[in-house]
Structure 1
Amino acid sequence: MLLAMDERIMIESFPPRRITLRVSVVTETFPPEVNGVSTTVERLVRGLQRRDHDMQVIRPRQTSDGWDREGARLGLEQVLTRGLPIPRYPQLRMGLPAQRALQSLWMHRRPDIVHIATEGPLGWSALRTARKLRLPVSTDFRTHFEAYSTHYGVGWLRRSVQAYLRRFHNQADCTLVPTQALADALRAQGFERLIVVPRGVDTDRFTPRHRHPLLRESWGAPGDTPVLLYVGRLAPEKNLELLVRTYRAMIDIDPRWRLVVVGDGPMRDRLAEHCPQAVFTGALTGDALARAYASGDVLAFPSMTETFGNVTLEALASGLPVLAFDYAAAAQVVRSGVNGWLAPVGDEDAFVEHARRLARERDWLPRLRAGAADAVAHLGWDRIVTQTEHIWVRLLAAHAAGPGVIRSSAWWDGQPAIGG
C-alpha cells in the first residue's frame, strides 16, 4: 500500500525563481539506509528543496524507518512502497514492482520530471510508467552491478546484467554519471545521452576540526599512534583481502599501526578472523562518522568496483590522506605525494608498496594531511545541485519542444561538468 505525505517547504532566504519544478525521485535506497547512493540522493533532494522545488521521494518502506517522520518534519513528500530484503544484505531492501500505483499517483498529480536513481524492480516500474505517461525522465548510473556479479559467484550473468542496464538507461531521456572516465566507458558499451555530474561532499560536516583524541584512545591509538582507516561495506566486491594484506605489510614495518574498520556487511566475521587486533565500529553516520574520518591518519580504499566512491571525498574533506587505485573519484582528486597515493588500477603490489612507504616514512603524513581538505573544497553540494537543476530545466524545455528534439543531441551535448 502506498502512503503519501504531501507538504512543501518554502525557504524565504532564496529569491523567487522563474521555474519551480515538481520532481519525483524514485530510489530503492534512502536514509535510514547507510551507503553512498542513499547519501547522495538525500543530499540532492534536500538541496533542491532549499531552492524551493517541490520534491517527492518514492522508495521502499524500511523495517526501522524514522525518515518517514523526519521527512514530514522537513516538508518532504514521501511515497513508501513495499519491499523485500536484498540477499546477503538484510539491512537493505529492494522495491517491488508498482506500475499501477505509480500510474495512479502521477495521473492524479503529474510531476514535471521523473528522476530514477536505481535500476531495480521499483526503478523499472517507474521507467515504464514515465514513458507511458510521456513524462520527462532522467536516470543515475551509480552502481557497477555487472562487476559485482563476479564477486558473488554469478560471473556468467555479467553480460546479461550489462545488457539490462544499457536497455534501462537508454530508455531515459538522459543518464547522469559521476565521472568523464565512466561516461567514456559506458558510451563505448552502447549507452546513450550521458551527462557528467560530479558528486559533492558536505564540507561543513566533514572537516579536520573533528579530530577527537578521546576517540583515538578508545581505538588503542593515543598520541601519535598511526591509524589506518577503512570506511565502507564489508562485502566481497570491496576487495577486503587487499585491505588485510596492506595492513599486515604496514605492521611488519611498524607494529604501532592500528586498523579501524567503519562499516558492516556479510564479510565482517571473516575480516575479524583475519585481523583480530582491528577495531570494528559498525556502520556510522552523521557526526560520529565525521569524527571517525578526522581521527584517522590514512584511508585505505582497495575497491575496484566503484562508479565513484564517496568515501574518498569525505576522507579528504576530513584532512585524511587516501590510498586508492587510480580511477573513479580518486583519479579526480587524489595526487600522489600531495594528499595521498594512487596505484595503477589492478596493481595490488603497487598499492601495498605505497602502504609500506607510508609505514617506513611517517614524516609524509603531516604533508599529506595538509593537502587533503583543499583538494575537495570546490565540491560542496550547492554547485552539484545547481548543475542538476540546470539539466532538468533544459530537459523539460526540450521535452516540450517534441520527441524529435528530446532524442537529438542538441539539448544535452556540451552540458557543463562542474568540478570534474
Structure 2
Amino acid sequence: MSPKSDIKDAGLAAAGKERIAWAGREMPVLKLIAERFEKEQPFKGVRIAACLHVTTETANLALTLKAGGADLILCGSNPLSTQDDAAAALDAYGIPTHAIKGEDDATYYKHIMSALEVQPQLTVDDGADLVTTLHTKRTELLSGVIGGTEETTTGVIRLQAMAADGALKYPIIAVNDAKTKHLFDNRYGTGQSTLDGITRATNVLWAGKKAVVVGYGWCGHGLALRASGMGSHVIVVEVDPVRALEAVMDGFAVMPMEDAARIGDIFVTVTGDKNVIDANDFAVMKNGAIMANSGHFNSEINIPALETMAAGKRTLKPYVEEYLMPDGRKLYLLGEGRLINLAAAEGHPASVMDMSFANQALGLEYLVKNRGQLSAGVYPVPADLDDNVAALKLTSLGVTIDTLTEEQKEYLSSWQEGT
C-alpha cells in the first residue's frame, strides 16, 4: 500500500487542478499517449516511483501513467521546485505525493524513502537521487525493479558513472539524450525559463549587461541565445574545445572563468559539475554581480566558500541573498544556488515538456514490454520512439512533412556509383 501524501495544504487542490488543465492545453502529445494508455493499460498492476519536479507539467505525466494503470507514487526532486497546488491536486487525483516547497534536506530524503516504500518495479528520476538512494539504502528492493528512466544531463552522468563502476543493477533509459528532449527542452525550455526566473527574482534589465554563461551544452546554447536576444553581451566559459569553438562561431565571446569573473554582470551556471564559480572568482567579481544556477544541483556555485568569505549576509527579497564582502563589494546569489527557473519561476513551458514527458511515458512502456531482455546499464531512447514523439508533435502543430519515394529510398540505400 502506498504511503499517504505529505503535502503543504490539501485545500490548494482546486487551484492546482485548474493550473494542471491549463498546462495540459500545451501538451497534446502526452494527451494522445494518455488516451492510448487508457485503452491498452500497459502499466496495469505495475508499481512506479517517480522523483521529479512536482509541477503542473509533471502532473500531466503522472496522470498519463495513472491512466495506463500504474500504481504511482511521486516525490519532489528539488526542495524549491515544488508547486504546492500541483502537489495537492495530485493527491486529490489519488496519486500519493510527497513534496513541499522549501522542505529541508531531511524532509527531502524522507520523501524519497517514502516513495520507495511501494517497492517500485519502475523508477522515474530527475537527477538520479531516487536511484542512488535505492542502490544504497534499500538494496533489498533492487531485484524487483524492471527498469527506469532519467530526465536530466546531471542524472545521466551519475548513472553512467554507476554503470562504469558496476554499481547499477537495472536498465535505465536516458530520456535526456533523446533528440526530442535535449534539442528542445534543454535548449528552448532552459533558455526561456532561466531568464524568466532571474528576471522575476531581480527585475534586472538584460539589455547592455555582460551575461556569463558557464557551460555551452544544449542548456547553455539556449541560455546564450535568449540572453543575446534580450540585448546582453554574452560571454561563454567552457572547458570543451569543440563546444568553445561552437560558441565562438555562434558569435559569443569565450574566455576562462578567471577573466569572465572580473567583467560579468550576471553569471549563470549550466554545467552539471561542481564549484565552477569558486572562491577566486568571488574575490574579483564586480560590485553588484548576480549569480544564479540552472544546473540540477546547488553545487555549481561554491556557496560554502562564499559564506566563509563574506563579512555579512542578508535576504533582500524572496530568492535574493546579498553577500557583503570585506572590501565593501556586494554580491548577489539567487534561489540559494538551486534551479533558478523552478525556484523563482514556473520552470519550462509546457509545450517543450510535452515532448520530454512523452519520452518518459513511452520509455517506461518500452521497459515493461521488454522486461527481462535488457541487462543493467544506461540505454538511449529507441530511435523509433524518438521519431514517434517528433511526428506526434508535428501533427499536433498542424505541420506535415514530405516522404521519400521508393526510388529515393533505393538510391540512398545503394552503394553502387550512379545507381
Instruction: Please give the range of the TM-score, normalised by the shorter of the 2 chains.
Output: 0.3 to 0.5
Normalising by structure 2, we get a TM-score of 0.43
Higher helix share: 2
Taking CA–CA contacts closer than 8 Å with sequence separation of 6 or more, which of the two structures ends up with the larger relative contact order? 2
Normalising by structure 1, we get a TM-score of 0.43
